[in-house]
């Protein structure tokens, strides 16, 4: 059961071989047993989960089931869910129970899915290792001495350890794809604007995007069918016709043009990662694809551009957490200004404070033109590089992360090295393109390696097809951590 795909679980539920209550309880029991050693979940509410499961069983009995009805999912703790604590991995929101549902949550509820719980994450989605959470570090299920990646590390660990059928994540600079790679699962960051950001606590509004994380491309397609769609409450939501993201899964790959950017295969990538990625490219050749050498000359500037723009937006977005209306408030203060200062000083962690300070600096008088404005100009050049590349190829491939999962605490004292963990993923967010990561082998210490697939705007269905055909030919995506 824990190894079943979403389609297989849906078939079993509709055939009444198992009930949603039984399935949900099985996952809750597994979470109770394994979560203490992985710390993948922040909040559980078995009563609410089982109530949803009972409602799903009634819906199935009435013949009104949809593809995901009755299936238990985990939700990253960045999505507001009515009646659930929504902490964003921060002391600042440790006591915040959301009065409403995020669009993503309401979409899953409308589909009849079950919310198992809220997964751990880097504080306010700021991190690449899930070590900045107020609720403690998440452990990688493949090796609990190593990080799961971030910021969606709790989601990735939960999916890899079979603590849910699948789960949601968010990606601002690689936070779906990088943890997916490090934990050996599949994850998709859609085109910016395809999935509504309403009710998703903002980090960097022009970069944040919600997406699915699961075991396979087929699972991601079924989740995208639920998650995607126009939402008038989100000014960045794109008004497009609904599409079936699973429609092209079975198409052969004959004639597919895969672009390999020379900048992705330069110094900095681990030899073990390179070996696995090259083997995956060779498999695609067998499936009928052709290889095209391309260049993304400005991609080397993506990390410095990102760490100007993202903190700038964060400094603005996080100004609302002031101890006045909701969230943490310092217990002692002398006046209003003192309350602001102490609440924010005590409520935010070190990484969040660092990024707020950087963002405030680059937006300040005398530095806006030198840093923020220049970064926006380079962002446009990065997007133009991709536009030119897609004149030569259909999809772009390369490594998701320069290395496999590193040891807990290994990069904690060197923020720049931590930031470089996202060197292959950030450009995709800056350009607003869709990107995904799928398992493609194992590197040193038997840790998973991820293959990144980058598509043109609104090309998610083609990317899912490309990933699915590879997964039909290989079994990397079906491997699970042993001993759990």
- Active-site residue numbers? 76, 151, 175
To which residue do tokens 């030198």 refer?
370
Residue 186: strand pairing partners: 214
CA distance 137 to 201: 20
CA distance 21 to 116: 11
Separation of CA 157 from chain center: 12
To which residue do tokens 């060779």 refer?
282
Separation of CA 28 from chain center: 22
Task: Give the single-character DSSP code of 139.
Answer: P
CA distance 115 to 98: 15
By the 8 A CB rule, do 319 and 379 touch? no
HSE, side-chain direction, 13 A CA sphere, residue 82: 9
CA distance 480 to 448: 10
- State residue 257 phi and psi, 5-degree precision: -100, 115
DSSP 338-367: HHHHHHHHHHS-HHHHHHHHHHHHHHSTTT
Which has the closest alpha carbon to 477: 234, 254, 166, 235?
Answer: 166
Burial of residue 474, with CB atoms counted within 10 A of its CB: 0-12 exposed, 13-18 middle, 19 or more buried: middle
Distance, first Cα to last Cα, the chain:
15
Helix (H) or strand (E) holding 269: none
Q: List CB contacts of 423: < 8 A, sequence separation 6 or more.
A: 268, 302, 303, 402
Helix (H) or strand (E) holding 226: helix 217-227
Helix (H) or strand (E) holding 36: helix 20-38
CA torsion angle 236 239 242 248 (round to 10): -70
């Amino acid at each position: 059961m824990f190894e079943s795909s979403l389609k297989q679980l849906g078939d079993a539920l509709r055939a009444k071989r198992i009930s949603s209550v039984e399935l949900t309880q099985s996952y809750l029991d597994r979470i109770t047993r394994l979560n203490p050693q992985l710390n993948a979940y922040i909040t559980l509410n078995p009563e609410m989960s089982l109530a949803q499961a009972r409602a799903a069983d009634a819906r199935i009995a009435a013949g009104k089931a949809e593809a995901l009805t009755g299936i238990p999912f985990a939700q990253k703790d960045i999505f507001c869910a009515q009646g659930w604590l929504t902490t964003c991995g921060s002391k600042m929101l440790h006591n915040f129970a959301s009065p409403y549902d995020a669009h993503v949550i309401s979409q899953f509820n409308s589909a009849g899915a079950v919310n198992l719980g809220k997964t751990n994450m880097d504080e306010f989605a700021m991190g690449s290792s899930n070590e900045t959470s107020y609720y403690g570090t998440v452990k990688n299920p493949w090796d609990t001495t190593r990080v799961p990646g971030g910021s969606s590390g709790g989601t990735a660990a939960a999916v890899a350890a079979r603590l849910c059928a699948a789960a949601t994540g968010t990606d601002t600079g690689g936070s779906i794809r990088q943890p997916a790679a490090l934990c050996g699962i599949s994850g998709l960051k859609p085109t910016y604007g395809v999935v509504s950001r309403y009710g998703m606590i903002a980090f960097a509004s022009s970069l944040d995007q919600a997406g699915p994380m699961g075991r396979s491309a087929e699972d991601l397609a079924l989740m995208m069918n639920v998650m995607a769609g126009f939402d008038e409450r989100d000014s960045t939501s794109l008004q497009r016709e609904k599409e079936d993201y699973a429609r092209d899964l079975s198409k052969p790959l004959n004639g597919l043009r895969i672009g390999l950017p020379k900048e992705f295969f330069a110094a900095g990538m681990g030899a073990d990662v390179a070996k696995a990625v090259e083997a995956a490219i060779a498999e695609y050749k067998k499936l009928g694809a052709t290889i095209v050498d391309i260049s993304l000359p400005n991609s080397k500037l993506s990390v410095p551009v990102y760490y100007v723009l993202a903190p700038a937006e964060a400094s603005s977005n996080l100004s609302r957490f002031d101890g006045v209306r909701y969230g943490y408030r310092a217990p002692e203060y002398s006046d209003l200004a003192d309350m602001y200062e102490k609440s924010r000083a005590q409520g935010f962690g070190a990484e969040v404070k660092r990024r707020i300070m950087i963002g405030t600096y680059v937006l300040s008088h005398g530095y806006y033109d030198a840093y923020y404005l220049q970064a926006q100009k380079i962002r446009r050049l990065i997007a133009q590089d991709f536009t030119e590349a897609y004149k030569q190829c259909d999809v772009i491939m390369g490594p998701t992360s320069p290395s496999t999962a590193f040891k807990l605490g290994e990069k904690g004292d060197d923020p720049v090295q931590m930031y470089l963990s996202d060197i292959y993923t950030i450009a995709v967010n800056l350009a607003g393109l869709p990107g995904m990561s799928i398992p493609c082998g194992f590197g040193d210490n038997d840790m998973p390696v991820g293959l990144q697939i980058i598509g043109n705007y609104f090309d998610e269905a083609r990317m899912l097809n490309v990933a699915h055909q590879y997964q039909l030919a290989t079994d990397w995506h079906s491997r699970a951590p042993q001993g759990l």
